[in-house]
Structure 1
Amino acid sequence: MELIPAHSFWIKRMESLRTSKRAVLIVAAVTTFMGPFMVSGVNIVLPAMGTDFAAGAVLLSWVANAYLLSTAVMLVPAAKIADMAGRRKIFIYGIGLFTAATVLIAFAPTIWMVIGLRMLQGVGAAMVSTTGIAIVAAVFPVSERGRAIGITVAAVYIGLSTGPFAAGYLSALWGWRSLFLVTFPMGLLSVYLAATMIRDEWTPAAGQPLDIIGTLLYGLCLVLLMAGLSGMPGIKGTMALVGAIVCFYLFIRQELKTPYPVVEIALFQKNRGFAFSSLAALINYAATFAVAFYLSLYLQYIKAMTPQTAGLVLITQPVVMALFSPLAGRLSDRFEPGAIASLGMSLCATGLLLLALLNGGSGISYIVGTLLLLGLGFALFSSPNMNAIMSSVAPAHYGLASGTVATMRLIGQMLSMAIATLFFALFIGDVQITPETHTAFLQAMRLGFAVCCGLCLIGIYFSWNRGSIRANTDS
């Protein structure tokens, strides 16, 4: 008789040691908060950095670009390594690396050291981004995945919304370096939560070798692409873009012939839903990411706002994203994700068109209203589109899909910043923004928003024509 309760005890004990869905969701939400918090906060303290280091607009843009470039370069190999060595392990190591680099930035004596540490910070972010969503997708069934992804995406936007607000006040009280110190306890908490609350391990590619040649070609392609875009229209920029195209061609050839590719090219060739959803993500992020960068400089230089006030204005968009992303995720569990995402991208295109009409006399209510529209559009796009990507592949490819969506996001963000850097170089040059350059700054900003609006219109095509994700999932 005593064997029954003892047996029940050990069953319950073993179940308690497994990774619960709630635990994964908590850890994913906390860890995905940190990166966006830092990204949005850095945009606010860029002018203070520029004053401290006497850095021009182009060099300041590399404080953002270095993070995006290193993250994008490492996302795909990090996804493959995580499938080989364990997603949980890479997830925890990534949090630790991100936290260490963030703290070191607070003590950096030069702008070049800041840029170098931002690159190291991006490597850690890549390790976290490519494994977090894969772990969520592995734990939650298809019927609940949209809601879980929506909550995770909401955490991203909470980070984006609190980053400018916190950065503005921290910068005013203790200087821009305090922004990087305040994330240290968050990093320690995230490592503790991940190590204690995620107990399972996922190694779908255990024993497979890493495609070193493909990884190097992929990274070199992205580096040359960023260098080329930021160096246009000069001869060096053109040569770098040609080199990026050559590297991309060699990368595709390498991935098609190797038995263990770092990227499954066939997945793009045979899975239209996955391919079009990934392209839609890339285009949407390329069109929208530079909004905060542009407006942070616009509000502080043109409107003469303090960092605190500028942060309060910019908080509008990510707050709306955080509020509506869980709802959009739940809707994508019930209705076709592509239709919801296409509506969201249409709203983003409208918001970017309105921003392209900004001038020195534009009212704050106009800016806030446009940010509200952009926030709603991005919320309706992001969660359903990510749900579509993760639901379009088999569980064995969750790591690849997670790495792909993160890569598309980062390449899109990198392209968005490259567009901003290019127009600054053309209209302003590598000088500090002063009243004498305000007219040129407005011209560069308006043209950038117009180009981004055009990108969004192209993205709507891919989003709408991706096919039925729900039908493929049900089959």
Structure 2
Amino acid sequence: MIVTELRLGTTAGRATLAAAVLASGMAFLDTTIVTVALPAIGEDLSAKLSGLQWTVTGYTLTLAAFVLLGGALGDRHGRRKIFLIGVGWFTLASIACGFAPTIEALIAARILQGVGAALLTPGSMAILQASFAPEDRSKAIGAWSGLSGVSTAIGPFIGGWLIDVLNWQAVFFLNVPLALAVCWLARRMPESRNLIARHTRFDVAGAVLGALGLAGFTYALIATPEEGFGSPEVWAGFAVGVFCLFTFIAVERRRSRPGVGISDHEGRPRIVAMMPTSLFGSRTFSLLNAYTVVVYGAMGGLLFFLAIQLQTVSGYSALEAGIATLPMTLLLLVGSGRSAALAARIGPRPQLVLGPILCAGGTLLLLAVDENTLYWRDVLPGAIVFGLGLTLQVAPLTASVLAAVDDAYAGIASGINNAAARAASLLAVAGLPMIVGLAGAAYANPEAFNSGYHEALWWCAGGLAAGAALAAFLRPRRS
């Protein structure tokens, strides 16, 4: 693996960190910035709730399915190279989103946008892990985690402002100047790769099976409220999901056997597993990813429902709905560096336990949001408590995942954890409306959506509590 010992105090170090943070922040931003735009998109494009769900899940579907492949491509061809290709792809797809004339065209562009995000996201973190000197690595990853988390949390605020001042299309065109800034900063970014990966072949079958499996489950969950659980279309979706995901696991296990990845009986490079199951031989790595699934699923569901609840039921404008969650952003911005430093000093487990507990408490406080909402009484306390929980856990989780594997697998480990987070959010957004009985134009019906919102938040709080319970069994290494 090519390694350049970057230091944070140098121009190259600062530029590399800024490019990685800005690019990954751009990808994470689009997981939340679009949520606050959903009511405007639905009204402008005459979309049903299922169309709005696909606007969110189409992006997270391809991001979750191909982020593993993105990490593997970077390890083999150069992380900087694949990172910049991803930035370009993401930008072009963002432009297509902004010009989409129908909800179907928007969903298609969002699917392509997710592919670009899958190429750039794992590389952004793996570049820091591979390029910075050991004494600066934890600080760089902590800054990446915190600032990327800020971009996720600030999405509703920026989206609300752009929608009120301009239109919903502006939330996509925003990516153009951000991408140009990334390309300018990346001039000083060093290249790195896993030299062993250059002598292997790609696991295309694994990527396709993973994508089809997630797509099958997503379609079935979104279609159930409108088509009915007993419909052939829904059962076909579940069948495709189950078959593809079980086949995916079987394929990855076979390709992860000792000796696979060197050469076959004809001397050709073998196909290396996109998701090496050997990494899950680490109890810590397995638990961290299970933790990621339940915690990020709950967070994704909360942010989806809260953005619509504030506008449909509480009567907030898009900008006001974005401002409502601003305390989460400010707490992440101020506290992420301190959180990373504390985890390095005392170990990450206490924060990984306490973080989701606080997030669950904030979620329960947000149950007060209804048609008679007063911001200072009903929104602010929950936003603050939830933001404190985010601040405690985001940076320690990222550092713990990377510390659980060898540096040579930084890209793959990053991809697996990103896939776990995005898949969890994807399934939460697809499944929670079905669980609480929302469908059709219910997102525009205050009475119907209010009832579904309160039931959904109890599910989200339960998921966060489960995350805290999982973290109690963790023994992560200090990074």
The TM-score with structure 2 as length reference comes to: 0.88
Q: Secondary structure at the match of 1:469?
A: coil
Q: Say which of 50, 57, 66 aligns to 1:65.
A: 57
Matched, 1:355 2:349: no
Q: How many percent identity over aligned positions?
A: 26
Displacement after TM superposition at 1:170 (Å): 2.2
SS of equivalent to 2:34: helix
Whether the 8 Å CA contact 1:348–1:378 is kept in 2: the answer is yes
Partner deviation per Cα, 1:11-57 (whole Å, 9 max, x = no partner): xxx99xx9943332121122122123333321222211111111122
What is the letter of the counterpart of residue 59 of structure 1?
G
User: Residue 178 of structure 2 aligns with which residue?
Assistant: 186
Aligned to 1:342: 353
Corresponding position of 1:203: 194
Which residue identity lines up with residue 54 of structure 2 in the other structure? W
Residue 387 of structure 1 aligns with an amino acid whose one-letter code is A
- Residues 19 and 264 (structure 1), Cα distance of their counterparts in 2 relative to 1, 3 Å cut: farther
Structure 2 counterpart of 1:220, one-letter code: L
Larger deviation, residues 304-313 vs 140-149? 140-149
Shift of 1:68: 0.7
Counterpart code for 1:234: F
- On the 8 A contact 2:400/2:476 being kept in 1, the answer is no
- Is 1:448 matched with 2:456? yes
Q: Does 2:229 correspond to 1:230?
A: no
**What is the aligned partner in structure 2 of residue 256 from structure 1?**
253
CA contact (8 A) 1:338 1:469 kept: no
- TM-score (norm. length: structure 1): 0.89
CA gap of 1:249–1:169, structure 2 versus 1, over 3 A, is closer
Q: Are 2:22 and 1:30 equivalent residues in the alignment?
A: yes
Deviations 1:69-127 (A, max 9, x none): 11111111111122121111110000011111112222111111111111111111111
**Corresponding position: 1:311 with 2:356:** no
Question: What is the aligned partner in structure 2 of residue 172 from structure 1?
Answer: 164
2:397 is the alignment partner of 1:385: yes
Coordinate RMSD, CA, aligned? 2.2
Match of 2:55, as an amino acid?
A: V
Task: State the shift of 1:340 in Å.
Answer: 1.3
Q: Is the 8 A contact 2:313 2:447 kept in 1?
A: no
For 1:168 and 1:249, locate their aligned partners in 2 and report how far apart those are by CA, in whole Å: 41
Distance 1:145 1:101 in 2: 32
Q: CA deviation at 1:451?
A: 1.0
Q: Which amino acid aligns with 2:402?
A: M
Q: 1:246 offset after TM fit, Å? A: 2.6
Partner deviation per Cα, 1:185-217 (whole Å, 9 max, x = no partner): 1111212222x1113231341121012222222
Secondary structure of the residue aligned to 1:248 is: helix
| CA distance in 1: counterparts of 2:359 and 2:153, whole angstroms | 18
- 2:269 maps to what in 1? none
User: Separation in 2 of the partners of 1:192 and 1:457?
Assistant: 42
Could you say which residue in structure 2 is the equivalent of 1:430? 440
Give 5+ residue unaligned stretches, structure 2: 1-5, 261-271
CA offsets 1:379-418 (integer angstroms, 9 cap, x no match): 2111101111100111111111110111111112112212
Aligned pairs (5 A) from 1:21-100? 21-100=13-92
Contact 1:71 1:126 in 2 (8 A): yes
> 2:418, 2:153 → 1: CA distance?
20
Alignment partners' CA distance in 2, 1:404 and 1:142:
23
Distance, in Å, in 2 between the alignment partners of 1:312 and 1:442 is: 20
Separation of aligned partners in 1, 2:433 and 2:80? 36
Distance 1:265 1:151 in 2: 29
Assess if the C-alpha contact under 8 Å between 2:16 and 2:185 holds in 1.
no
Correspondence for 1:409 among 421, 425, 430: 421
Residue aligning to 2:293: 282
- How many residues of Structure 1 are paired with residues of Structure 2 in the alignment? 450
Residue 304 of structure 1 aligns to a residue whose secondary structure is: coil
Equivalent in 93, 100, 108 of residue 101 of structure 1: 93
Q: Cα deviation per residue 1:297-335 (whole Å; 9 max; x = unaligned)? A: 111111112112111112222222222222111112112
* Contact 1:217 1:251 survives alignment (8 Å): yes
What displacement does 1:343 show? 0.9
Contact 2:131 2:190 in 1 (8 A): no
